[in-house]
Amino acid sequence: MPKHLYSKTEQACMDVPQMEENKMAKYRKLSRTSDQRKALLRNQVTNLLYHGKIVTTEAKAKEIRKIAESLIAMAVREKDNFETVTVTAKVARKDADGKRVKEVVDGKKVTVYDEVEKTIKKDRPSRLHARKQMNKVLYGVTEVPRETAGRKKNTKSVDVAQKLFDEVAPKYANRNGGYTRIVKIGPRKGDAAMQVIIELV
């Protein structure tokens, strides 16, 4: 019987399975709860943008690609949307060993500061919004040197969002999409899931 001959209630019931099918087809659950899935994808996307290449399963790679490409497109669009501002900052004076210089004032040791002029990049509103959207997805990265000597001193935090603006976006300035590549490397031992390399082109 043609659909228009059914009552409105019957038509609505007929549309429910199609709506559920469309709703489920939007993303892969990856056999995880919502929180676990989000944490997994955030971690994988951060590693991809930081290292430029990761090994994962095909299903995960397809989800990672969606997020990574949208972030790169955002960075390409906003990479030059800033203004240069000169500010005066107080910087602690240090000796030859890198330790802070202190002087005695009223019987107390006080760190000596010098005023230094710095030129910084100030985000315009749309770029600032893009940075906030990126930081909702990306985790912070800490670089720890392999050498034991001076490890604590040389450990530093990396702003992956800033890396997107400064290093990744300029490479794709003249490219409209297609920032990543997925290459199959064969089934994984144990569960035979297809493993792939996803990398920035």
Residue recorded with tokens 């501002």: 85
Are residues 178 and 158 part of one domain? Answer: yes
What pLDDT score does 1 carry?
55
Are residues 200 and 190 part of one domain? Answer: yes
User: Which of 60, 90, 122 is at the close of a domain?
Assistant: 122
Are residues 144 and 91 part of one domain? Answer: no
Are residues 104 and 186 part of one domain? Answer: no
Are residues 97 and 60 part of one domain? Answer: no
* Percentage above 70 pLDDT, the chain: 88
Are residues 188 and 143 part of one domain? Answer: yes
Over residues 107-120, mean pLDDT: 90
Closest by CA position to 83, among listed 47, 122, 50, 109 = 122
Are residues 95 and 44 part of one domain? Answer: no
In a domain, 23, yes or no: no
Are residues 111 and 183 part of one domain? Answer: no
Q: Count the domains in the chain.
A: 2
Could you tell me the pLDDT band of residue 6, with boundaries at 50, 70 and 90? low
Are residues 129 and 61 part of one domain? Answer: yes
Are residues 191 and 131 part of one domain? Answer: yes
Here the CATH number for the domain that contains residue 143 is 3.90.1030.10
Closest by CA position to 196, among listed 28, 185, 65 = 185
In a domain, 51, yes or no: yes
Are residues 136 and 41 part of one domain? Answer: yes
**Per-residue model confidence as pLDDT tens digits over 16-50:** 444 344 444 478 898 899 999 999 999 999 999 99
What pLDDT score does 22 carry?
44
In terms of residue numbers, what domain contains 117? 82-122
CB neighbourhood size of 147 (10 A): 7
Over residues 145-152, mean pLDDT: 84
**Per-residue model confidence as pLDDT tens digits over 55-96:** 999 999 999 999 999 999 999 999 999 999 999 989 898 888
Closest by CA position to 200, among listed 177, 15, 10, 59 = 177
Are residues 129 and 72 part of one domain? Answer: yes
pTM across the whole model: 0.74
Angle at 27 between CA 23 and CA 33, to 5 degrees: 100
